[in-house]
Amino acid sequence: MSWNSNKWAGDPSKEDLGRSKYTYVQNKLHTHESLNFGHEIYPSEEDGYYIGYTPMLRKPPAFDKSSSVKIIFLSSSDYKNSNRKLIIGFYGNPEFGQEFPRLSKHRLFRKYDGGNIKALPEDIIYFDKPLVISNESVAKEGLLPEGKLISQRGFNYLNSDNVYTILLQAQSLNQQNHKLNAYVKNYPIRVAETKEQATSEDYYNAISDADADTLKGILELEKKMAKQTPEVRQRIASFIERGAISSKVKKLTGYKCLICDSLKENPYSFKKPNGDFYIETHHVEQVSTLNKGVLGINNLITVCANHHRQLHYGDSLLVERTATSFKFKIDGKTIKIDAIKIP
């Protein structure tokens, strides 16, 4: 944003306008962002949101990349101090991607009549002591994703760790800012909720037009899986392990634990009300590998609940895989299991 000697809560000075790095501001002698941190002075809109503006969002970011954005940091260059770049505050839980007219009544709203970001006043925080940044500091302190520099013509996407680092540094400079302290304290909870929401949305989008009941459906899921996070991939794997293909695999193996059977132990668990023995399916090669066929039947075996947990968390290792079999090493014992094929 252009520099504002009145803390972005009022008109900029004549010097601010004349020394702005934006040609538009110099020519028009006007800055749309002048009231960005006037949320404690000026009225909010009927929906409770306060409207701000950033030149970097004149062209909205791609929705698929910004749908999980929960915080927008605002920065400016202080021409009075060698144009040092500062993060001066943020809008938390923002709405953006379109133009928002200011409809509330105030004399300054006739001059500054709208913006392109908005948030609830309790989620808008100004730093009385701004955070000084440079390409050297962001690399050293982890304020941007690895290898990224401060954008000169647009904005930077940050991950949750970058955001938390910035918040902690801002908090150390503004220790008496109670609203900032509360935001930092609740930030880990916000991140967990956001990740869970994003994971659930991505998972349901992936399975919405596919199924785990046919080989064709599984192939479609496998194509989608490459773009998903490990958490979503695991949910897709569990979805398949509960589907009709999984039921077919259980029937083909006679509802036996193939590991118990290989060890010459009782391969059957308890009986369910329908008379079938309880058994679980397991993806031998981890779904996270994204290898072709990793979701398919040839990568499934049936195991008891105990061996299923052991394969995930115990002393077990897949030492060999062929087109027709798997070889495991479990508790020091080598076990060979034939791959399942649909007759």
What band does 211 get if pLDDT is binned at 50, 70 and 90? low
List CB contacts of 224: < 8 A, sequence separation 6 or more.
Answer: 206, 210, 236
Q: Is the model's pLDDT at 66 over the cut of 90?
A: no
Q: Is the model's pLDDT at 289 over the cut of 70?
A: no
Task: Look up tokens 């379109």; give the residue.
Answer: 98
User: What is the Cα–Cα distance from 299 to 297, expressed in whole angstroms?
Assistant: 5
Q: Is the model's pLDDT at 343 over the cut of 70?
A: no
Q: Is the model's pLDDT at 195 over the cut of 80?
A: no
pLDDT digits (tens, 9 = 90+) for 90-130: 999 999 989 999 999 999 999 999 999 999 999 999 999 99
pLDDT digits (tens, 9 = 90+) for 291-336: 666 677 778 899 999 999 999 889 899 999 888 899 999 999 999 9
What are the phi and psi torsion angles at 13 (to 5°)?
-80, 165
- What is the percent of the chain where pLDDT is above 70? 94
Bridge pairing between strands 124-133 and 114-119: unpaired
User: What is the Cα–Cα distance from 49 to 180, expressed in whole angstroms?
Assistant: 18
pLDDT digits (tens, 9 = 90+) for 17-44: 998 888 888 888 999 999 999 999 999 9
Mean pLDDT of 5-10: 96
- pTM for the structure as a whole: 0.64
**Average pLDDT of the chain to the nearest whole number:** 88
What band does 212 get if pLDDT is binned at 50, 70 and 90? low
Residue 28: predicted pLDDT? 87
